[in-house]
């Protein structure tokens, strides 16, 4: 009875594994099929984008050519210059407009779209124009009248100017250049600019998405196109492609909508072969292979991986090490049992190693914490006694406050982190002690935003280097200046707080720089001068390789220490 229960249990596991593998395989086929379909659609999208860019380029090219032509007439044409004369006679005006019109005719004849150029004279309230021979069913006389009214209304506008004119439900782009009521311009019929093609919809819109012209098949309504309009917009529906491209140097965009039934991939036989027939055959073959591998090879490996996962999570069951006794097959039972024994030994070794490392680090941090120099404390007490003899009460109060704050601060847990503002206050107290103790001036400058002051930093990470500057950079013939800067930066996609300490001393020596820039990754006992190595190693213990320290000399002179400390997510959240 128990053997049957074991067989049923194994069979259940096999069935679960088979179903899981089948689902995974089907998901892989779906993912692969989706990738192929995506690539297939991407090819169409790129081709569609290229076509749209070509149309936008063509429109921009034609507009620029006409603008250049109008500007050339404005600046160089002798007939237009004659028309600008204030005392021109009627016969001279007629003659100048005649020759100017001939010039317009030569330009209009080479246009391969419906458009033209014109001259409007506000004084004579007259318009002269020439249009291309592109097929146009409208009335040129009425079109001239509409342009004339537009020019009359905008003759005083700032030149040059562009405007959109709607005439007989068609959109025209007008460009006007001139002065003193003598206006030159061109007109392009945007509603007839493109040659309509089958299954294509051409739309010209302004940058705000307002539709100006709509040609070709009505694949999408104007509301849908306007909602999708935008500079360099691209969208693929199930049966259409939509892409937009801004016309260079213009406040216009060309939107092209292309309907293609090839995008409906579910209507293609390749889709059903890919997702039904091939997976069905593959499942039938792989299912039998999986059953064999599961029974003979994969089961011991799966057991080993499962036990390793439990060990890493720290969730070893009570019967760990005896699971192999329940296996029917003798070989697999022995393998599982030995693997369990091996994993137990590995875990024990890992725990022993972790314990030793923890004890070593705790001892190391304790050693660093007792590095308080007793002679410094005694000197401070002697100075306070001297100041009391001199009855200098204010200075005594400052000295006592600074000394007490300093020692209260340094006796904190060296493994803790404090806000940058607290560290800066400690530096200020230490500098006060130095000024009173040595009767020498010291200029301390701090440049840090309120946000930066709330970041967490290791204790004494700034004070150590300020103390180093005081020790090696202070001279009696100059005022020692120390500058502390703190800001936030991003380096290699990680957020850091950057702290720099700069003094105005002689800077670091070459050998000293080489030694300081060497990383410290293990503890080395020293009886003196442990300050810089202390903070470098403590930073390494807290942050590992992620923290960065740089030592160099400023071009203006003086030593510079730069610290980059990575900010954890929970710390950053405190600042928001």
CATH no., domain 374-573: 3.30.565.10
Nearest partner of 421 among 371, 462, 478, 367, judged by Cα? 462
Asked if 17 and 208 touch (Cβ cutoff 8 Å), the reply is no
Tell me the pairing of strands 480-491 and 442-448.
parallel
Residue 473's pLDDT is what?
Answer: 80
Residue 501 has pLDDT above 90, yes or no: yes
Asked if 229 and 205 touch (Cβ cutoff 8 Å), the reply is yes
Residue ranges covered by each domain of the chain = 43-262, 313-367, 374-573
Residue 441, CA atoms < 13 Å, CB-side half-sphere: 5
Residue 35 has pLDDT above 80, yes or no: no
Residue 419 has pLDDT above 70, yes or no: yes
Residue 496 has pLDDT above 80, yes or no: yes
Q: How far apart are the first and last CA of the chain?
A: 64
Question: Who wins on pLDDT, 2 or 413?
Answer: 413
Residue 399's pLDDT is what?
Answer: 72
- Interhelix angle 463-473/420-438, rounded to 10 degrees, is 30
Residue 341 has pLDDT above 60, yes or no: yes
Model-level pTM greater than 0.75? no
Distance of CA 415 to the CA centre of its chain: 34
CA distances from 542 to 297, 487, 488, 538, 565 (A): 44, 20, 19, 6, 10
Question: Who wins on pLDDT, 26 or 227?
Answer: 227
CA distances from 369 to 10, 316, 380, 462, 533 (A): 59, 38, 20, 16, 13
Task: Extract the runs of DSSP E, i.e. beta strands, from 420-518.
Answer: 442-448, 456-458, 480-491, 494-503
Instruction: Give SS3 for 160.
Output: coil
Nearest partner of 463 among 394, 387, 400, 534, judged by Cα? 534
Asked if 419 and 456 touch (Cβ cutoff 8 Å), the reply is yes
Nearest partner of 501 among 436, 552, 539, judged by Cα? 552
Contacting residues for 40 by C-beta, under 8 A, at least 6 apart: 265
């Amino acid at each position: 009875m128990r053997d049957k229960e074991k067989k049923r249990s194994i069979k259940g596991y096999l069935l679960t594994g088979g179903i899981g593998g089948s689902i995974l395989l089907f998901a892989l086929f779906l993912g692969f099929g989706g990738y192929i379909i995506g690539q297939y659609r991407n090819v169409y999208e790129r081709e569609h984008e290229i076509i749209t860019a070509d149309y936008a380029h063509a429109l921009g090219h034609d507009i620029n050519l006409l603008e250049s032509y109008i500007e050339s007439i404005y600046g160089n044409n002798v007939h237009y210059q004659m028309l600008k004369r204030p005392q021109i006679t009627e016969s001279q005006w007629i003659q100048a407009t005649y020759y100017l019109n001939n010039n317009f005719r030569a330009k209009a004849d080479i246009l391969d779209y419906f458009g033209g150029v014109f001259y409007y004279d506000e004084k004579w309230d007259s318009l002269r124009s020439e249009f291309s021979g592109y097929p146009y069913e409208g009335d040129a006389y009425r079109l001239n009248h509409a342009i004339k009214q537009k020019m009359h209304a905008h003759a005083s506008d700032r030149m040059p100017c562009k405007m959109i004119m709607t005439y007989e439900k068609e959109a025209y782009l007008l460009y006007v250049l001139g002065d003193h009521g003598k206006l030159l311009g061109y007109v392009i019929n945007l509603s007839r600019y493109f040659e309509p093609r089958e299954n294509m919809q051409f739309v010209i819109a302004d940058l705000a998405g307002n539709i100006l012209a709509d040609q070709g098949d009505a694949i999408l309504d104007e509301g849908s196109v306007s909602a999708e309009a935008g500079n360099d917009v691209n969208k693929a529906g199930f049966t259409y492609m939509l892409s937009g491209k801004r016309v260079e140097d213009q406040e216009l965009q060309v939107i092209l909508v292309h309907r293609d039934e090839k995008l409906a991939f579910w209507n293609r036989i390749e889709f059903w072969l890919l997702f039904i027939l091939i997976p069905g055959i593959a499942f039938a073959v792989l299912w039998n292979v999986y059953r064999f591998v599961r029974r003979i090879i994969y089961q011991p490996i799966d057991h080993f991986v499962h036990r390793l996962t439990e060990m890493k999570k720290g969730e070893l069951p009570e019967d760990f090490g005896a699971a192999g006794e329940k296996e029917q097959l003798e070989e697999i039972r022995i393998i599982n049992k030995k693997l369990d024994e091996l994993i137990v030994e590995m875990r024990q070794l890992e725990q022993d190693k972790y314990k030793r490392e923890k004890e070593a680090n705790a001892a190391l941090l304790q050693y660093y914490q007792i590095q308080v120099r007793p002679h410094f404390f005694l000197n401070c007490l002697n100075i306070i006694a001297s100041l009391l003899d001199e009855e200098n009460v204010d200075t005594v109060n400052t000295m006592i406050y600074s000394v007490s704050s300093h020692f209260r601060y340094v006796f904190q847990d060296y493994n803790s982190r404090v806000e940058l503002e607290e560290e800066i206050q400690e530096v200020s107290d230490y500098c006060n002690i130095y000024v009173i103790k040595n009767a020498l001036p010291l200029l301390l400058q701090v440049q840090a935003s309120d946000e930066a002051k709330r970041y967490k930093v290791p204790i004494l990470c700034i004070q150590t280097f300020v103390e180093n500057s005081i020790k090696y950079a202070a001279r009696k013939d100059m005022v020692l200046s120390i500058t502390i800067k703190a800001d936030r930066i991003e380096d290699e996609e990680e957020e850091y707080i950057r702290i720099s300490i700069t003094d105005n001393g002689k800077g670091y020596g070459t050998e000293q720089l080489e030694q300081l820039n060497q990383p410290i990754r293990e503890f080395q006992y020293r009886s003196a001068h442990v300050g810089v190595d202390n903070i470098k190693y403590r930073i390494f213990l807290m942050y590992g390789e992620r923290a960065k320290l740089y030592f160099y000399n400023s071009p203006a002179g003086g030593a510079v220490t730069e610290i980059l400390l990575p900010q954890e997510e929970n710390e950053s959240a405190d600042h928001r």
